[in-house]
Structure formats: structure tokens, C-alpha cells
């Protein structure tokens, strides 16, 4: 009985000592430099595509608003005789301004995404 108790105690002590040894420091595959770089590149590409899509959507909306404003001004001119040129010029200027803002915002967003991707690598 004493031998069994001694064996049991030594087993418990050995298992406790084994449990306290630290595991070897191995990085998961998802945290290797190559995997991090691939993730950063994928995130950057997705961000660029999203920025381009948003810019395209804004440009299409600006073109539609411009066309609607021109049509409205021309219909108003036909009905009242008031010249449409000032309203048409204003609509074109507004559309050009909106398109320029969208282009600048997309460019800034792409630059920010690129910097974040480089920092992640």
C-alpha cells in the first residue's frame, strides 16, 4: 500500500511539474510575416476597390442631378421664357465640384489605406 501511495504521489508531482513547463513559443501560421503581408495586401486591395466604387457612385449621382437640373431649367425656359443658361451653368459647376470632391476623397482614402497596409507589414 505504501508503494502504491508513493507511486501515486510521485505521479501527481511529476504531472504538476510537467503542466507548469511553458509550451514552446510557436507563432500560428496566421501571424507569420508572410501571412500578415498577404492579409495587409488583401485589405488594401479591398479598400481601394471600395473607394473607387464610392467615387463612381458619387459621379453617377452628380451626373444624374446635373441632367435633371438642366432638363428642369430648359422646361422652365420653354414655359416662362426665362433664360436657362444661368441655371445650366450652375448645375454644371455644382456637378464638376462634386466630382472633384469625390476624386480627392478617393485619393485621400487610398493613400490612408496604403499607409495602414505598409504599417501592418
Q: How many CB atoms lie within 10 A of CB 45?
A: 12
Whole-angstrom distance, CA of residue 98 vs CA of residue 94: 6
Whole-angstrom distance, CA of residue 118 vs CA of residue 121: 5
pLDDT digits (tens, 9 = 90+) for 40-80: 999 999 999 999 999 999 999 999 999 999 999 999 999 99
Q: Which CA distances in Å does 23 have to 27, 78, 79, 114, 115? A: 12, 84, 84, 37, 36
Q: What is the largest CA-CA distance in the chain?
A: 116
| pLDDT bracket for residue 34 (50, 70, 90) | confident
Residue in 117, 119, 106, 115 with CA at minimum distance from that of residue 49: 106
- Quote the pLDDT of residue 10: 66
Domain ranges of the chain: 33-120
pTM score, whole prediction:
0.68
Amino acid at each position: 500500500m505504501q508503494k502504491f501511495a508513493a507511486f501515486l504521489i510521485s505521479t501527481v508531482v511529476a504531472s504538476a511539474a510537467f503542466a507548469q513547463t511553458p509550451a514552446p513559443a510557436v507563432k500560428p501560421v496566421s501571424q507569420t510575416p508572410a501571412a500578415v503581408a498577404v492579409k495587409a495586401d488583401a485589405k488594401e486591395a479591398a479598400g481601394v476597390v471600395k473607394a473607387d466604387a464610392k467615387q463612381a457612385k458619387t459621379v453617377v449621382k452628380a451626373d444624374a442631378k446635373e441632367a435633371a437640373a438642366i432638363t428642369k431649367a430648359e422646361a422652365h425656359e420653354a414655359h416662362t421664357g426665362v433664360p436657362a443658361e444661368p441655371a445650366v451653368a450652375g448645375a454644371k459647376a455644382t456637378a464638376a465640384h462634386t466630382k472633384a470632391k469625390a476624386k480627392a476623397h478617393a485619393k485621400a482614402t487610398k493613400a490612408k489605406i496604403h499607409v495602414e497596409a505598409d504599417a501592418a507589414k
